[in-house]
Structure 1
Amino acid sequence: MTHLPAPPEESVAAPTIGSGREFARRFTAMVDNIGTVIKGKDDVIRQALVAMLAEGHVLFEDLPGTGKTVLARAIAATTSGSTSRVQCTPDLLPADITGSTVLDRATGDFTFREGPVFTNVLLADEVNRATPKTQSALLEAMAEKRVTFDGTTYDLPSPFFVIATMNPIELAGTFPLPEAQLDRFQFKLSLGYTDRDAEVSVLRANRQQAAILSLEPVVTIDEVIDMIVWARGVTTADPILYYITDLVQATRDDPALLMGASTRAAEALMRASRVMAASQGRDDVLPDDVKLIAGAVLNHRLVLTPDAQLQEERVDAVIDRILHRVKVPQGLEVTPA
């Protein structure tokens, strides 16, 4: 099957990746490299990279000390990218994230000083401790991939990938993200605690010095951009588009859900499914690609009804039920890229 070009309105160069196998090789190398410092969590690493290559962002709801900061640093190191970290607090201002103008004493002019958002991988730690105004400034930068200050627009680096975290405990003094803002994140993931053997491996790797300090890049930023462009061209046949639509619409009709998934969720599921297919060396999205990533895309976008909460229903159980109920398209051929 002929590989589809990137949309003409993007005005991007054609990718230098020669085949889906090359995409899969790079993707696997990135996962393996990050896996040298994040032990026993290859599935989460894959999902985080899928989000980045699908031009999305990830929200981690996790306990402290599970490796979220190390994951952000590892992704940046693996891709030769830059990384910044913002510790969100109630007194954090929007300008502390986006940047502000400062007086240049040499010239007497005001110049724009870039904030930590001008990076390839941004870790926004405990984002729910920032005020709604500061949260909105970050989410606007995530959506638009640019910052506007004092009437001037500044483009953010490419790729631009945000890992935001929330602590499920110690909720005093926090500002929960409303559903409309949660919808801006492509995935919601959790690293969680490692098993016994993986935790021993972490201790071995960090016995003399932090393993992240010796992590070397396996791809360049330009190669990552090539992978993003390639993934845009992965074929999503009409049966797959109808399947994604049926899944999303089924969430709106489920009696256990007060709020279903939006059209933005359907677009996020389509983009993530393309990267998932490419990561396996294919140029066509299959239903299994959609199923593999559906939970990460949908779990933070669905709201249970009060009755469902009283019955201790879980969102992930509702998603599984919908995946089993919606008819899967048949007869799609696998085409190696």
Structure 2
Amino acid sequence: MDETFRGFLDRLRQAGELIDFRQPIDIRHIATLVDQSDKAIFFHKVIGYDIPVVSGIIRTRERAMMAMGASEYLEIEERLKNGIAKPIPPQRIATSPAREVVMKGDDVDLYKLPIPMSSIYDGGPMITAGVVIAKDPEFGINTGIYRFMVKEKNLTGIDIVTPNNMRLFVQRAYEAKRPLPISISIGTHPIELLGAGFKAPLGTDEMAIAGGIRGQAVKLAAGDTVDVPYIADAEIVLEGEVLPTGWTHPEGRFGEFTWLMGGLHWNPIVRITSVSMRRDAIYYALHMPWENTGLMAPTRYAAIRQALRTASVVVK
């Protein structure tokens, strides 16, 4: 499937699954309108910001199926399994449209991004749709999706309380007293979200899985301030370092996919070294709790079914 993030938005629009909301909107009201809508919403004029916001694009099973080109919901799992079985390594390119506008050093200002809160009880605005690529000296590249709570103009947290490969990378960097370089790609096609959301074994290239799902290589461009690539098709790219401070900074609370408020976590902190974007960038806010389940559930189904088969349990 040769489709970009913007191409998917256009397809949703043509299918009547996306509403263009053109009147000025207070960023505090975005989550409420997404909650109330059965369509994805493109907010063209967010008061106080130069960047539009889109949210709810994979909130329903139907839109998740559209994203994967599937005719039924279980087909998403089959496409993921095909990507796992027949991965296609990413293609490296020199640069991308996400380099059209660049802020580095003292010019980095996360408050210029229209990052909405999903709940009035959230601890702060959180980046929710970032595809995170990290690099470990021994284990190489790992890709996943993690939340980042904005703390200062160039500082965020990273929510890695539960055991996963990213937590291992950060722990190893912490023990070595060195920062861990990462990139955060915001506004990517749901195929990259699906690949990144799969809990792959250590050493597995999740973007190769995404390439297998696509049927062609995912393009990665070289980082500028860190030696880590990012997804070339992204709308907005953050580069930074997870600082070797350990799990010492408060993170949360945050409305979870269970429809319950998560507790306060202690997490590492991230220093953002670069913010780059397209000239007409779109900020994608993956809205919790509604928008997480439709696409992420099949990543768990695939792992659970395989584990059961390994244990000789017949799955219907």
TM-score (norm 2): 0.27
Higher strand share: 2
TM-score (norm 1): 0.26
Higher helix share: 1
Between structure 1 and structure 2, the one with the greater Rg is: 1
